[in-house]
A and B are shown apart, each in its own frame.
Chain A
């Protein structure tokens, strides 16, 4: 314990004997003891009861749907005949849609790895923890970065002709630019969007792209992965 620290532990809290986090000291802020937590309820029965009701509702809903809707079963697996179109489970159809545009190494390995790594590191970056609005500091400089990033994305996606990624990117990019605070006075419509941090924008972009890809892969792709409308009958 030779190291000199800027703070001292409170009375009777021997950290070696009884480690327990009582204060957080983050950069640029003073130590903040958790303040008023408001009303508290006993877990038994309040939490237990709610969880039990949630469980019952869930099981009732599941049983009802399972009675009405049969799980699909196709022909016996045949390694000699690929069904057309061959589709992965719905939650991988976004990935399959990406595989249509990008080489397998990019769409199958690099992008998913980046997504997982990106998710894991979210809580380890101060910019995400503080969650300051994107345009709060140096808006003009950030606008340039945003426009450059969006332009690069649009170019890359256009080169690969990844239209189903490009369209949601346009929508989110458009909203992002729209949220840029106008120099003269406040805009009402931009208030919610204008106060969003960078992490919010990236995650929202990711969700909208993933949702679009999954929906397109599920409903709009027919034989040979060509575009079909869900209401037009195909295959047969």
Chain B
């Protein structure tokens, strides 16, 4: 193969390359790509904002659990609508989340075993939310529980409290 046959075509931009200086084409290429990048980033941000709903129609997180006298001493009561266990011991009341800390399945109170059990991946908890066995990474959280002025129990599911806090009535 002779020298002449070898491909000698060079990209046009490089042909006028004069050491260090960038050519007009390279300059506009870079400007155009940068502009595209900025536009893409802007579009992505706007789309991301669009995809995050500002108003949600989700159930309220605070609820009244009724009069304390409804709950016998040493009992675990499941509030179906709210996915919360109201536990009354000799010391007082506390509220335990019924949503498994593993993957969000709803646990069930098994009185015969004195356990809270998760149907999805087999986690088991005591009535105070501490884990007995299974893949759950954390104990079930305790929610803030207070008394309303008219004497009802009020549970706030947004506020978690330390498990040793109980509401004395």
* Chain A residues within CB distance 8 Å of chain B: 1, 8, 11, 14-17, 80-86, 96, 99-104, 223-226
Name the contact of B135 in the complex, choosing from A14, A80, A83, A100 (C-beta under 8 A): A100
Report the Cα distance A100→B136, complex, angstroms: 9
A224 touches B7 (CB 8 A): no
Point out the residues of chain B lying under 8 angstroms from A103, CB to CB.
135, 137
B105 touches A16 (CB 8 A): no
Secondary structure type dominating chain B contacts = loop
A99 touches B121 (CB 8 A): yes
Interface digits, B76-96 against A, CB 8 Å rule (1 contact, 0 not)?
000011010000000000000
Report the Cα distance A99→B101, complex, angstroms: 13
Name the contact of A11 in the complex, choosing from B1, B80, B107, B137 (C-beta under 8 A): B1
Residue B119 at the chain A interface, CB threshold 8 Å:
yes
Report the Cα distance A226→B122, complex, angstroms: 7
Report the Cα distance A99→B100, complex, angstroms: 13
Task: Give the contacts of B44-102 with A (CB-CB under 8 A).
Answer: 80-81, 83, 102
* Chain B minimum-CB-distance residue to A227: B122
Given known A-B contacts A1-B7, A82-B106, A101 and B135 have beta carbons under 8 A apart: yes
B80 touches A8 (CB 8 A): no
* Chain B minimum-CB-distance residue to A99: B121
Residue B118 at the chain A interface, CB threshold 8 Å:
yes
Q: List 17 A-B contacts (CB under 8 A).
A: A1-B7, A14-B7, A15-B7, A17-B9, A80-B80, A81-B106, A82-B106, A82-B120, A99-B102, A99-B121, A100-B135, A103-B137, A104-B103, A224-B124, A225-B119, A225-B121, A225-B122
B137 touches A82 (CB 8 A): no
Point out the residues of chain A lying under 8 angstroms from B102, CB to CB.
99, 104
Residue B144 at the chain A interface, CB threshold 8 Å:
no
Report the Cα distance A103→B121, complex, angstroms: 11
Point out the residues of chain A lying under 8 angstroms from B119, CB to CB.
82-86, 223-225
